[in-house]
Structure 1
Amino acid sequence: MSSRSPAPPNAAPNARAVLAANLIRLRAEKGWSQEALAFECGLHRTFVAHVERQARNISLDNLERLALALGVQTYSLLMP
């Protein structure tokens, strides 16, 4: 069971959900598997999977690594 409470109906999407959606979309656009993305940024495949499932918190350093591998600005990974 999740310890996070549901967001109010008019609230903006949470950062984990936005990040997950952007990672999945950008990874798919490149035709990369989670393993390929993980390799490109020096992270473990299971870490990438956990971030995409919103099961892990992520540091700014790892957010930057993902953005660099995907060829986007770091802040854009958090933009709905």
Structure 2
Amino acid sequence: MEEKLILKNRLKVARAEKNLSQGDLAELVGVSRQTISSIETGQFCPTAKLALVLCIALDKKFEDLFYFD
């Protein structure tokens, strides 16, 4: 039986630690505020490139921001 891996994230917590709004983070990484919101709520799975850019912007390791549930 195949188990489906679902990518989860701690983006909202990491963003709050840096005192950034969704709009602030979006501007830093070059996407819309709606994209950040969609990632935080699990409606959108970021590309590898965007995930790494988010890690750099938030000064976090990939495994600190993203995980499988």
* Alignment TM class, shorter chain as reference: 0.7 to 0.9
Structure 2 partner of 1:36: 24
Q: Which has the larger radius of gyration?
A: 1
Work out which structure has the larger RCO, using CA pairs closer than 8 Å and 6 or more positions apart in sequence: 2
Q: Which runs of 5+ in 2 are unaligned?
A: none
- Normalising by structure 2, report the TM-score: 0.80
Aligned residues: 65
Q: Distance in 2 between matches of 1:27 and 1:42?
A: 15
Q: Report the secondary structure of 2:43's partner residue.
A: coil
* Greater strand content: 2
Q: Report the secondary structure of 1:32's partner residue.
A: coil
Structure 1 partner of 2:55: 67
The root-mean-square deviation of aligned C-alpha atoms, in Å, is 2.0
* Aligned 8 A contact 1:41 1:68 in 2: no
Shift of 1:79: 4.3
Shift of 1:53: 1.1
Is 2:45 aligned against 1:45?
Answer: no
